[in-house]
Structure 1
Amino acid sequence: MSQTRKKTSSEGETKPQTSSGNKFLRGSKAESRKENNDLKTTDSQPSNWIQKTAPSETAKPLSSEMELRSSMEKYEQFLQKLGKKTVNKCLDLNNCGLTTADMKEMVALLPFLPDLEELDISWNDFVGGTLHSITQQMHLVSKLKILRLGSCRLTTDDVQALGEALEMIPELEELNLSWNSKVGGNLPLILQKFQKGSNIQMLKLVDCTLTSEDGTFLGQLLPMLQSLEVLDLSINRDIGGSLNSIAQGLKSTSNLKVLKLHSCGLSQKSVKILDAAFRYLAELRKLDLSCNKDLGGGFEDSSAQLVMLKHLQVLDLHQCSLTADDVMSLTQVIPLLSNLQELDLSANKKMGNSSENLLSRLRFLPALKSLVINNCALESETFTALAETSVHLSALEVFNLSWNKCVGGNLKLLLETLKLSMSLRVLRLSSCSLVTEDVVLLASVIQTGHLAKLRKLDLSYNDSICDAGWTIFCQNVRFLKELIELDISLRPSNFRDCGQWFRHLLCAVIKLPQITEIGMKRWILPASQEEELECFDQDKKRSIHFDHGGFQ
């Protein structure tokens, strides 16, 4: 905090009704808070909640104005040391490399933060084994709404202490314990308080080594979590065995909006079990069943209730080993999800020769913003169907066709789509066997002013494009004024010298005000081009990372 700021703050302390504890949480949040005038705090006037909130009765009273000022300075010095800023009602120490001494210092500050609503100490290894020192102070921050302890190496003693402390924060709305393996086998100890009902809206237990018994307990607990909106159980491979209990509990969570079961050991039978629960989840917005490789074949006769998810906006089925019969069944359902905005079917290689009808019917999804269908072994007929459909997807922002070799030599089929895509932000064509004619076609589309909103363009692993093609492309890439990332890297097994097109790329980059990353892996720069790049790097006004194969 600057000296001017400190002076202004102390001048505002003359009002006796202002909460001493709340003054610690004065300040400006980073970029998002700058954009919100309702939440922004000025130097000359404290925010409304500081003016109106009285000190917590449980907080330790400050004996003097001097002690208050000293404590405020210690709090701000603590945050500055960790590279953090004060934010109203929020203590965010995520990934700060906290030491044991830092933990003690933070605990000592909690009595002065009675109105704290958000505490995030995720990704700090030294939290493990010391959480009891924090949980013992939970009664001092009883207004806490958000508690994030992801990847803190929590011990069994930690999770037991946490379970006892949750009783002290009845207003808790979000709990994140992801990436803590000791949560597995101890979930009842942690969530025992929730058995009496809870205001919890978001529960994240990603990669917690949950057991089948934990899954059974959670299924029994879900009916008591009537406010639950987000449930993320991803990367817990043993809970598939208790899916019956979980699905039964889901039937009572009518407010659920997000359900993530990514990589949870689900099987063909799991689809039928979940399908029975979908009719009760009318408010669901996001469903992630990805990376469950044994799901393949499960949708053949068990996806009828999926159509009940009328408000579904995101459906992720990537790497689920979908069969031709699965695709046939999904063809009857997915086009009826009229609010769908994001669809990921990638890494389902058996779709290649069976998805023509499904892709053709995607035209009935007018709200679709993201279509990810990379590495699906598309064939000529299916790619043609996709190209004809994509013309009707006017809201499309993300289009990923990477690792589909049939695109090479056939990019012209997407010509009308590329011309009409006013909203496209991300285009990925990595490892599509593109030829020189494809890149020349893309350059002509760019030159005529189309794709003006493009921010990320991936043309990597297309090694068949000659230097002349790259030259034409680099001469025209300057028209992509909003471009942030460009990737033209070569395959890991291939190294080539940069041609004269590299000079055109440098000239283009100067005219791209927002670009920060250019992937050029395995392109070798000769001495003359190395010198050009060094001269370019001397321009300290730009920060652009050229990720190339090195100098020759």
Structure 2
Amino acid sequence: MSQTSKKSSSDEETKPQTSVVNKFFRGSTLRSSKAESRKESNDLKMTDFQPSGETQKPAPLDAAKPLSSEMEPGCRTEKNEQFLRKLGKKAVDRCLDLNNCRLTTADVREMGEALKAIPDLEELNLSWNCKVGGNLPLILQKFQAGGKIRTLELVDCALTSEDGTFVGQLLPMLQSLEVLDLSINRNIGDSLNSIAQGLKSTSNLKVLRLQSCGLSQKSVTLLDAAFTNLGELRELDLSCNKELGGGFEDLPAQLAMLECLEVLDLHQCSLTAGDVVSLTQVIPLFSSLQELDLSANKKMGSSSENLLSRLRFLPALKSLQINNCALERETFSALAEASIHLPALEVFNLSWNKCVGGNLKLLLETLKLSMSLQVLRLSSCSLVTEDMALLASVIQTGHLARLQKLDLSYNDGICDAGWAVFCQNVWLLKELTELDISLRPSTFRDCGQWFRHLLWAVTRLPEITEIGMKRWVLSPSLEEELECFGQDHGSSIHFDHGGCQ
């Protein structure tokens, strides 16, 4: 899951000479409503922070009125069309992407009326604009009578509890809605009851993202009541809700009804041992599941043996994020045995689980059979020289041929001999684009002669672009060799290293 960082909506507002809306609309890109042109956000893992900025209290659902309602219909239509022309938009446009545009309160109010000039709007993205918070009823008033909207994204908009209540009341009118993203709006957790009630009427919903929304244990019960009506749901993201832990302990009966679920993200949810027991009964039933993220749930480390062993019943699984879960040797062994039965696995993240060190041999059969594996992350796993020798032998015998990204960083216990045997064989990974062997921030170490093997290997890796070697210190002679390498091969390959001693 490379990440693109967005500016926080809490950036201070400036006073432009002309409306900011006029500026960003003019440069926005027109997109059709076809599925292949929709903006994907799969490996978007948002940063967990508190949005800020001034907000205004919204009017009730039935009281939101356009500011220019006193205008004659003809004048209002002409004004809206002129407004859209200035912004480079037309009334026939179906997608409006205004994310991260630093909208002012005036922009937001002007937009509320202008949206009515786009009768066939199907996709609306207002993410990363803090002034949307408190003004949502005004902005979305045109949808109170229904509409064709299929995608509504309101990430980090500083939404208030009242905004959340408004969304819950509006949802039954959005019968075509397929994607709803309310992530990073921590204040809407208090209005989840209203949102959950509204979700019962969105039977076509395919994507529901509530990352970092201030959800609590009670939230699971509220959402569970809505799941019975969400039979088409493909993606469920409840991640980064740290108060959610314990909410799954009373088995959510309706969660198992999500038979079409392909993506389940529960990372950083403070899952308890009781949660893991309940999820053990549910997750293996998602036969269509392709992505599962349980990372950063440290309490599940000693209690997840049964859950991890039953992952073998998910043959369609492509991405498994189990990093930073404090796995123990027994739970890691159960995971290793189950992973043999995951032929479609493309992304496997085991980083920050110390038990992997010295036990990589448990993954030997998986590494040999993984014909689809493209990303393998073993950062800070306490790997030892023996593990590197094992990895090198797997590569040497022609396995891991499709590997594109390999993260071995923060494994300071590997001696020079281990790095040498690895670097002598890494050239066989012909599709490799990124390799990270950086040291911990607190560690600086002289680079051994194995670096020459790495330089030689890189010349035989046609796709490689990034070599992470932070805090490895080069001797003057090795620095000179690297400079010569750069002259011979241009700047297409970036070495991020600790410099010359």
Distance 1:427 1:137, change over 3 A: same
8 Å contact from structure 1 (residues 523, 548) kept in 2: yes
Equivalent position of 1:216 in the other structure: 165
- 1:440 paired with 2:440, answer no
- Quote the offset at 1:179 in angstroms: 0.7
Contact 1:176 1:203 in 2 (8 A): yes
Could you say which residue in structure 1 is the equivalent of 2:67?
none
Residues 506, 107 of structure 1: CA spacing in aligned structure 2 closer, same or farther, 3 A cutoff? closer
Partner secondary structure for residue 272 of structure 1: helix
Pick aligned residue for 1:491 from 428, 437, 440: 440
Shift in Å at residue 100 of structure 1?
6.3
Q: Cα gap change, 1:443/1:133 in structure 2, threshold over 3 Å: closer, same or farther?
A: farther
> Relative to 1, partners in 2 of residues 1:448 and 1:462: Cα closer, same or farther, differing over 3 Å?
same
Among 307, 312, 335, the residue aligned to 2:284: 335
Change over 3 Å in CA distance of 1:99–1:519 after alignment to 2? farther
Q: Which amino acid aligns with 1:299?
A: F
1:181 to 119, 125, 130: 130
Distance in 1, matches of 2:174 and 2:143, equals: 8
What is the CA distance between 1:539 and its match in structure 2? 2.4
Within 5 Å, give how 1:66-465 maps onto structure 2. Answer: 134-135=83-84, 137=86, 141-465=90-414
Give the letter aligned to residue 161 of structure 1.
E
Q: Are the equivalent residues in 2 in contact too, given 1:117–1:143 (CA < 8 A)?
A: no
Matched residue, 2:47 = none
Aligned residue runs from structure 1 range 483-522, under 5 A: 483-522=432-471
Q: Distance in 1 between matches of 2:449 and 2:485?
A: 16
Instruction: Tell me, yes or no, if the aligned pair for 1:135 and 1:161 is still in contact at 8 Å.
Output: no
Q: Which residue of 1 aligns with 2:66?
A: none
| Percent identity of paired positions between Structure 1 and Structure 2 | 76
Distance 2:491 2:159 in 1: 47
RMSD: 2.4
2:469 & 2:132 partners in 1: Cα distance?
Answer: 42
Q: What residue identity is the alignment partner of 2:417?
A: A
Q: Which residue of 1 aligns with 2:475?
A: 526
Distance 1:531 1:186, change over 3 A: same
- The answer on whether the counterparts of 2:245 and 2:275 sit within 8 Å (CA) in structure 1 is yes
Match of 2:485 in 1: 536
Match for residue 127 of structure 1? none
CA distance 1:404–1:116, change in 2 (3 Å): closer
CA distance in 2, matches of 1:107, 1:260: 26
Q: Deviations over 1:75-114 (max 9, x none)?
A: xxxxxxxxxxxxxxxxxxxxxxx9969987998899xx9x
- Give per-residue Cα distances to partners, 1:338-357, cap 9 Å, x unaligned: 00000000000011110000
Change (3 A) 1:106 1:201: closer
Indicate the larger mover: 183-192 or 99-108: 99-108
State the shift of 1:463 in Å: 0.2
Q: Is the 8 A contact 2:81 2:91 kept in 1?
A: no
Structure with the greater alpha carbon radius of gyration: 1
Runs (5+) with no aligned partner, structure 2: 1-15, 39-79
Change (3 A) 1:272 1:448: same
What is the CA distance between 1:133 and its match in structure 2?
Answer: 7.9
Report if aligned partners of 1:272, 1:302 keep a CA contact under 8 Å in 2. Answer: no
Q: Distance in 2 between matches of 1:479 and 1:214?
A: 55
**Offset at residue 305 of structure 1 (A):** 0.9
Deviations 1:462-483 (A, max 9, x none): 0000001100000000000000
Aligned length: 442
- Report the Cα offset of residue 203 of structure 1: 0.5
Look up the match of 1:476. Answer: 425
Q: Cα distance, 1:140 vs. partner?
A: 6.5
Deviations 1:499-552 (A, max 9, x none): 000000000000000000000000001100000000011125560110111111
Structure 2 CA distance for partners of 1:104 and 1:267, relative to 1, 3 Å: closer
CA distance in 1 between partners of 2:96 and 2:319 (Å):
31
Counterpart of 1:222, as a letter, is L
2:107 maps to amino acid? D
**Shift in Å, 1:304:** 1.6
**Equivalents in 2 of 1:209, 1:102: separation in Å?**
19
SS at match of 2:426: helix
Q: Kindly state the Cα deviation for residue 301 of structure 1 after the two structures are TM-superposed.
A: 0.7
CA–CA distance in 1 between the matches of 2:335 and 2:26?
A: 60
Amino acid in structure 1 at the alignment position of 2:250: D
Aligned position for 1:52: none
SS in 2 for 1:539: helix
Query: 1:454/1:100 Cα in 2 relative to 1: closer, same or farther (>3 Å)?
Result: farther
**Are residues 314 and 523 of structure 1, via their aligned partners in 2, closer, same or farther at CA, if it must alter by over 3 Å?**
same
- Shift of the 475–242 alpha-carbon distance from structure 1 to 2, 3 Å rule, reads same
Structure 1 unaligned residues grouped into runs of 5+: 1-97, 121-130
CA contact (8 A) 1:150 1:177 kept: yes
Q: Residue 53 of structure 2 aligns with which residue?
A: none
Structure 1 pair 214–103 and aligned structure 2 pair: CA distance change class (3 A)? closer
Q: Which amino acid aligns with 2:495?
A: F
Separation (CA, whole Å) in 2 of partners of 1:186 and 1:482:
49
TM-score, length basis structure 1: 0.77
- Tell me, yes or no, if the aligned pair for 2:164 and 2:195 is still in contact at 8 Å: yes
- Contact 1:138–1:168 under 8 Å retained in 2: no
SS in structure 1 of the partner of residue 260 of structure 2? coil
Structure 2 vs 1, CA of residues 190 and 274 (structure 1 numbering), >3 Å: closer, same or farther? same
> What are the Cα deviations for residues 281-313 of structure 1, in whole angstroms up to 9, with x where unaligned?
000000000000000000011422111000000
**Would the alpha carbon gap of residues 108 and 357 (structure 1) be closer, same or farther in structure 2, given more than 3 Å must change?**
closer
Specify the alignment match of 1:86 in structure 2: none
Deviations 1:40-60 (A, max 9, x none): xxxxxxxxxxxxxxxxxxxxx
2:408/2:436 contact within 8 Å kept: yes
For residue 482 of structure 1, give the secondary structure of its aligned residue in structure 2.
Answer: coil
If asked which structure has higher relative contact order (CA below 8 Å, sep 6+), I would say 2
1:208 CA displacement: 0.4
Aligned residue identity for 1:293 = K
Taking a change above 3 Å as real, the CA distance of residues 456 and 139 of structure 1, as seen in their structure-2 partners, is: closer
